[in-house]
Chain A
Amino acid sequence: MTIAVVDYGMGNLRSVAKALEHVADGVPVVVSDDPAVIASADRVVFPGQGAMRDCMRELQARNLRSAVLEAAATRPFLGICIGLQMLFDRSEEADTPGLGVLPGEVLRFPESDMVDAAGGRLKVPHMGWNEVYQSEPHPMWNGIPDGTRFYFVHSYFPQPARPDLVAGFSHYPFPFCCAVARGNLFAVQFHPEKSHRAGLQLLANFVQWNAPAGTLTEGATCS
């Protein structure tokens, strides 16, 4: 059994790999830009940071797009941060088309709404530890109390077109989706690899997740 972390050249994957190794109980964690390695891994982690347009471009340039689509449709798959955002149809960030694995859009925190209850200004990026509320029981939430804080750093958030995709949400200042789930796929806007014990617990859950087997026909645009 192996866990592959998809490397499309957009920066630091060491943290993700180290955190996974910490909880993987000896299961090899491979950081790879080789589509064949992704294709043969039992579990796939799809991280991301930086600008989504650059991430999409690099994914394409490195011929990793179809390996990621195939993994997202068939095997335990964990998207993190931009790795979550890329799964959607499109993002407001530089009007960038995504992979279309999940229906919906990625939106920027609107300047006009960024005021807290006391009238104070809320900063963008949304950076720091915020409470994550679980919309539904899920094996990925095992051992994590509802409302646990995770570490976020982002200026855009997903808005799934179907409410049943939402697995978790946070508030800034309005409720926004920060975790999505469908079959073998789970994705989070926050950074479990930087979220201390709760983050490690979520990654441990992923390593052990007995996810339902997906098929390539699931999802509209996985062809």
Chain B
Amino acid sequence: MLARRIIPCLDVAGGRVVKGVNFVDLRDAGDPVEVARRYDAQGADELTFLDITASSDERGTLLSMVEAVAAEVFIPLTVGGGVRTVADVRALLNAGADKVSINTAAVQSPAFVEEAAGRYGSQCIVVAVDAKRVPGTPDDAPRWEVFTHGGRRATGLDALDWGRRMQANGAGEILLTSMDRDGTRVGFDLALTRAFSDALSIPIIASGGVGSIADMVEGVTIGHADAVLAASIFHYGEHTVGDVKRAMAAAGVEVRL
């Protein structure tokens, strides 16, 4: 059967890995190719790179980085951050990205997702949804709102409705981040993950809040996520991808060992 995917996420700026890298035995911890190789060797099922500067003048640097990684690591690569036009999508795919993640631009222009999926296929279009729980909604019937600009700007959009709309527009996958949990290390917003996974027919990648291996397992067993993404748990060298997979297998989750 199909395996659930474990996806390390790397934040990059200026072609370098910038967040939370503390490998003791890497001479140049900020080199994306070295970090990618390391996760690849640990058994990562995919890698996600998010350009946190997302500035257009550094686009060339990002593309060179994608080229360098894609020439060495033969697993799927998703790249996101500042993807605004079909030309951006094309440039990243041509550089060696397998999927491109679209966030703010999808909210600004939902038709952009349709256009990109129509041109390059749903399989390479990931829509990133940053969701925040609407204050005051009951725990037994919570609702979430879509935020953009790294969680700073409210959109007024209901997150689940938005997810359904993006699916209809041709998104092949949703990268779902809980802005309430992001950076907290207390675990995924499992109600959010499960609501999306059960409501949509496309795969859901759970993101935001992982602090332990158990959190990642619960993302699948309770949250019904098709894939789980995490950054710091791997970056600080606390755990390897293999550790997570063994824990998942022990919990009866199908993984690629």
List residues of A whose CB falls within 8 A of some B CB: 11-12, 14-15, 18-19, 22, 49-51, 111, 114, 116, 120-131, 149, 151-155, 171-173, 191, 193-196, 199-200
Contacts and interface: CB of A to CB of B under 8 A. Distances in A.
A51 to B, nearest CB: 6
B59 interface: no
Q: Which 6 A-B pairs have the closest CB atoms?
A: A50-B121, A12-B93, A129-B256, A153-B123, A129-B3, A123-B203
A14 B71 CA distance: 8
A31 to B, nearest CB: 11
Contacts of B122: 125, 155
B236 to A, nearest CB: 25
A72 B234 CA distance: 45
B124 A49 contact: yes
18 contacts: A12-B94, A12-B97, A22-B74, A49-B121, A49-B124, A51-B118, A51-B121, A123-B201, A128-B2, A128-B3, A129-B3, A151-B76, A153-B123, A153-B172, A194-B74, A195-B74, A195-B75, A199-B74
B202 A11 contact: no
Size range of the interface on B? 35 or more
Contacts of B71: 18
Contacts of A49: 120-121, 123-124
A122 B95 CA distance: 31
B163 to A, nearest CB: 13
B226 A128 contact: yes
B3 A50 contact: no
B96 interface: yes
B132 interface: no
Nearest to B66: A14
B202 A14 contact: no
Contact of B2 (A19, A50, A129, A191): A129
Contacts of A194: 74-76, 98
Contact of A196 (B75, B124, B203): B75
